[in-house]
Chain A
Amino acid sequence: MEFLSNLALGFSVALTPANLVFAFVGAMIGTLIGVLPGIGPIATIAMLLPLTFHLEPTAGLIMLAGIFYGAQYGGSTTAILINLPGETSSVVTTLDGHQMARNGRAGAALAAAALASFLAGCVSTALIATLAPPLARVGQSFGAPEYFSLMVLGLIAAVVLAHGSVLKAIAMIVLGLLLGLIGTDGNTGGQRFTFGLNELADGIDVATLAIGLFGISEIMANLTQRESSREPVVQKITRLWPTGEEFRRGWPAALRGTALGAVLGVLPGGGATLSAFAAYALEKRVSDRPGMFGRGAIEGVAAPEAANNAGAQSSFIPMLTLGLPGNPVMALMIGALMIHGIQPGPQIMTERPQMFWGMVASMWIGNLMLVIINLPLIGMWVQLLKVPYRFLYLAVLLFCAIGVYTVSNSPAAVVMAAIFGVAGFVFQRLSCEPAPLILGFVLGPLMEENLRRALRVSGGDPMIFVNRPISLGLLIVALVLLLIVALPAIRSGREQAFQE
């Protein structure tokens, strides 16, 4: 019954007029940036992060969360109608979704994507509500050594599940940890890597870093490429409703996608994109008509769209219960909590139950809103796609610039974001993923603090991490993960999985 009373508390918070408005605003902005290629949820959330300082923390989190899952809905529209992923998590949706549109089934594809996402949203909201309390209880029993090992495991797992070279990803984590240390050392008061600049004394803000690495470098990368023609499939979307046959094939696929997405979302490094790819691969394998994939199979739309939404939402679980961010968006959410002086960790659920459960309930409400925003208003979003990129990037650039300025009301932040933009572009060209860097950046100060505390307890003996059973277990899992990727046989299998 704890479950029901928790949800009741959540709905009483989420259904207040102000919070409903913020959930709606978040879902709208999310859909908007989801539809538009060239701007993703990471940069958008980073831009809006400073503004949430003026809001009540619950309202701010509700809005930011809405942007994240709203983008999963919006991304599918672009993927289906113009064969361009609005978000990376809808890349696979282009394969069958756009084919369906070409076969005159655009309406059915859009409906399948929205309904599958809604199903996934409902299931993963329930999952968060059931899984979070026990996980938080586990987290509360952790001491400093366990926390340190947990963060090591989280970072390693994030690297193993991400694509690309593991060594480079670990180097990016270390770089992120170092960037996170810039500023005044909380323990000794000494300045680190500040070049004597006052602007760096408080460290780099996570929003500045994220806007540079994900927003500005993306603009640079897009301008370097030739502008691709984006012609929407023009024919009228006549029937939105899928046929009986499409329903019969679609809903089990959506269920499988939801299950897969929910599991992968909880793992560090998982989340929306990985879930969508994995769900598509799974559907192809279990299908009785694999030949139809790539030619407009509705399973190829329903499963990945369910999976990316489930993955996006269930990635909140480790963030909310353990303070462990699994992807850059969750790292920003931790930033949002810290703006309000809320220490992320298992105590959130007991100390601020209204905030926690209000956010969970708002996710379900937000998903319901998104179905409404997406299906009847589809014509409006299609109109938006006609805005050419040469207008769009100027708007994105401006919003990035103003967003960064409002982080600390200082011109220095804008200059820093510009520098991180160039850095992000160079990293992208060198195939160094920026996501691990952000995770390291957020966890850096926390890891140092826990390392210090653990070593103080043990009198400077590093063996404390191995002598405590839970800590040892976590480290062994991390080591096993690393060994698995290092084995050549599994490495080639992993590459194959990402190619699919």
Chain B
Amino acid sequence: MTEASGFPMTRPWRRLIHRDVLSGLLFIALAGLGLWLSRDYPVGTALRMGTGYVPRLLCWILLGLGAVIALRGFMAPGAERSTLPIGLAAVRPVILVFVALVVFGVSLERLGLVISILLLVGIGALAGRNLRPAETVLAAVVLVALAWGVFIAGLGLTIPVWPEW
């Protein structure tokens, strides 16, 4: 991650984007979410543990660990020269791979295997660096044939192949 990927920041603030500070904050946030979600779970006693006993205990431990990790990252030597651990280059592939999967999952049962694969390959191909349309079509055809051969003909999975009207 170079300077180009981060936005301009003055040095002291850069400590906040040290990877340990960010991981610590992430752990704290997740622990906080867990504590909030489990606020109404019955805790019980050590002898008769309720639904919430172990989850809440673990959330508090995670909260503590997150705080220590963030603090140590903030104090780490060289932290003032931190750069953002996730750059702009990652945004496109991460979002498109995510979208491709979600679209596949939602469409599989309604539109069938063939159309879902075409959608997955189409969106997935956009996530790559240099898209070559002819190659992508070829890949889609090969993958449809392969998936049909392995999963439908070979393993006999009960996935609809074509849209169900």
Contacts and interface: CB of A to CB of B under 8 A. Distances in A.
Nearest to A409: B158
In this complex, which of B51, B61, B65, B97 has the most chain A Cβ atoms within 10 angstroms of its Cβ?
B97
Contact of A401 (B89, B120, B139): B120
B75 interface: no
Contacts of A171: 23, 27, 62, 65-66, 69
A415 B85 contact: no
B85 to A, nearest CB: 4
B9 interface: no
B50 A405 contact: no
A422 to B, nearest CB: 6
A322 interface: no
B101 A411 contact: no
A415 B55 contact: no
Contact of B105 (A170, A393, A405): A405
Contacts of A411: 105-106, 108-109
Binding site of B, secondary structure by majority: helix, strand, loop or mixed? helix
Interface string A403-419: 01110010111110111
A216 B101 CA distance: 9
B114 interface: no
Chain B interface size range:
35 or more
Contacts of A397: 97, 100-101, 120, 124
A177 interface: yes
Contacts of B155: 51, 54
Contact of B139 (A192, A227, A394, A409): A394
A129 B129 CA distance: 49
B50 A430 contact: no
Contacts of B135: 390-391
Interface in B9-39: 19-20, 22-23, 26-27, 30, 34, 37-38
Interface of A: 51, 54, 165, 167-168, 170-171, 174-175, 177-178, 181, 185, 187-188, 190-193, 195, 216, 219-220, 223-224, 226-227, 390-391, 393-395, 397-398, 400-402, 404-406, 409, 411-415, 417-419, 421-422, 425-427, 429-432, 448, 451-452, 455-456, 459-462
